[in-house]
Structure formats: structure tokens, C-alpha cells
Amino acid sequence: MDFSKSMAVAASGLRAQTQRMKVIAENIANANSTASTPGGDPYRRKIATMKPDFDRELGATLVESGKPILDRTEFKTQYDPGNPNADTQGYVKLPNVDSLVEIMDMREAQRSYQADLTVMDATKQMLAKTVDLLKR
């Protein structure tokens, strides 16, 4: 694999992981939100998706972030009859976001991002050493 392919593959991974972290951050930001109407549905957790994308010009498979999908797990409920968003039985629906899961997903995305940065740095170092060899 040549240097441009290595950099392109790593760069596509960086872009995809950035999008993944944005989706996770949105989930965390809305973890405690409630519905805007009584008895309505609150924020629904989103799941980042990725798909392979073969680049014919490079001759390499890159990764591309796809459209986030909605997590269809049940909403949590909490008994709070004084809440303006409570239903007729006094229950408030809460988002299906588990902060611990989101934090773990964020750490995984950060590690993948770091791995892509490491590939780019190693490629840059190899390229610099190649240029130094050619100067001799």
C-alpha cells in the first residue's frame, strides 16, 4: 500500500469517528430531557452507522459515516405526577439513553480516532525517512 492510500484510509476513519462522536455527544446532551408535550415521547437515542466505500481512484476501501438510526428500545418511565409532562397516570417518559453506555461508546470512538492518528503519524514518518534516503 502506498503512502497516499494509507493517509486516505486513515483520514476516512478520522471523519467517520468524528461523526460517531457527534452522535454520541448529542445522546449525552439529551439524556435527561423530557417530551415537549404531556404524555409525548422524549428524545430517542441515535446509533451512529458506518459503511465501506470503495474508492476506485485510490483502489482502497474507505469508511464513510452513514445516517444515524434510532434506537427502538423502550423509554424509561418515572413516577412524577407534578411534572407538566406527566401522562394521566403521573408517569413521565425519559429518553432511552444510558449515560454509561454512551461514555463507553465515546471511549471506543476516541481510541479508534487515536489509532487513525497513529497510522497517519507513522505514514508521515515513513515518508520523511524515504525523502531523507533519496537525498543521499
DSSP 8-state assignment for residue 37:
S
Q: What is the mean pLDDT of residues 25-36?
A: 92
User: In residues, how long is the chain?
Assistant: 136
| Per-residue pLDDT tens over the stretch 2-13 | 888 999 999 999
pLDDT digits (tens, 9 = 90+) for 85-134: 888 898 899 999 999 999 999 999 999 999 999 999 999 999 999 888 98
Domain locations along the chain: 3-37+44-72+99-128
CB burial class (10 A; 0-12, 13-18, 19+) of residue 26?
Answer: middle
- Strands (E) located in the chain: 46-47, 50-55, 60-65, 69-70, 76-79, 91-94
In the predicted structure, residue 1 carries a pLDDT above the cut 60: no
